[in-house]
Structures are given as C-alpha cells and as structure tokens.
C-alpha cells in the first residue's frame, strides 16, 4: 500500500500514533489511560478509575447505573492495537514528518494545557 493511500484510509490511526510517539505519552501511560476507562451504559457518562473516578467505585454519579468497561478498552485489546500501530502506522508517521508540518504536542500534561496547544496548532485563538 502506498503511504498516501494508507494515510487517507487511516488518518485517525495516524493521530493515535502521533499521540504516543517519542514526545507523547509513554506506552505504559497510554495503556493506563485506555484500560482505566469506564462508561455508563444508561447516560453515556465516561469515567476513569484513577484520573476521573466516580464518587462510588463502579457506579455512575448521575444515575446510579453500574459502570462497564467497553471491550475495546480492555488491556489485551489495547496492547494488540498498539502493536498493530507499530507495524502499520509508524512508517506513515515517518512519511508525514518528512513532508508536512507536523505539530508534536506533549500529552503528559493536564487536559486544558494539551487542548490549548491543540488549538494553537490549528490556529484557533486561545
């Protein structure tokens, strides 16, 4: 597959890859973030076991429903996805880094700081 064709097809994967590139979150940090996510099947509220826990473990703050972990957030599945990125997407990242204006944003910071940098990178005033 030509890099450009692959790029059109999987832009979202490229963004994921950029996020966990050398300057971004470590592999362990990404695994922690993704596998710690919990979700309310009733109201769709999202939580995280360490960075955004509900008041009562496993229970939605808003409606008391039992929180669940989505299948695609489970650690083994996340690890497999990351392995696929290494094989299929890393070459794409190298391709775009050589040819385009890629902004690297450090994701190991508070959400607002990352968001501010994202806005600046696409030219939205703070």
User: If binding is defined by CB under 5 A, does position 40 make contact with Zn ion?
Assistant: yes
- Choosing from 27, 42, 52, 119, the residue that interacts with Zn ion (CB under 5 A) is 42
- Choosing from 62, 94, 120, 121, the residue that interacts with Zn ion (CB under 5 A) is 62
Query: In this structure, what token pair is assigned to residue 53?
Result: 């826990």
Backbone phi, then psi, for 31, in 5-degree steps?
-60, -40
Beta bridge partners of 38: 47
**Which CB sits closer to Zn ion, 39 or 95?**
39
- Among the candidate windows 39-47, 50-58, 105-113, 116-124, which touches Zn ion by CB under 5 A? 39-47
- Choosing from 6, 31, 45, 59, the residue that interacts with Zn ion (CB under 5 A) is 45
Q: Are 89 and 10 in contact (CB under 8 A)?
A: yes
- Among the candidate windows 28-36, 58-66, 77-85, 88-96, which touches Zn ion by CB under 5 A? 58-66
Beta bridge partners of 66: 59
Q: Considering only the C-alpha atoms of the chain, give the largest distance between any 2 of them, rounded to a whole number of Å.
A: 50
CA proximity to 47, closest of 66, 29, 26, 31: 66
Site for Zn ion in 67-126 (CB under 5 A): none
Question: Under the rule (CB under 5 A), what is the footprint of Zn ion?
Answer: 40, 42-43, 45, 60, 62-63, 65
């Amino acid at each position: 597959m030509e890099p450009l064709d692959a790029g059109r097809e999987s832009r979202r994967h490229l963004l994921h890859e950029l996020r966990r590139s050398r300057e971004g979150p470590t592999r362990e940090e990404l695994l922690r973030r993704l596998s710690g996510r919990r979700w309310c099947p009733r109201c769709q509220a999202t939580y995280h076991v360490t960075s955004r826990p509900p008041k009562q473990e496993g229970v939605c703050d808003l409606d008391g429903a039992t929180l669940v972990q989505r299948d695609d957030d489970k650690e083994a599945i996340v690890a497999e996805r990351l392995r696929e990125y290494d094989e299929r997407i890393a070459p794409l990242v190298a391709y775009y880094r050589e040819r385009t204006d890629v902004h690297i944003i450090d994701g190991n910071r508070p959400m607002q700081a990352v968001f501010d940098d994202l806005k600046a990178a696409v030219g939205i005033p703070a």
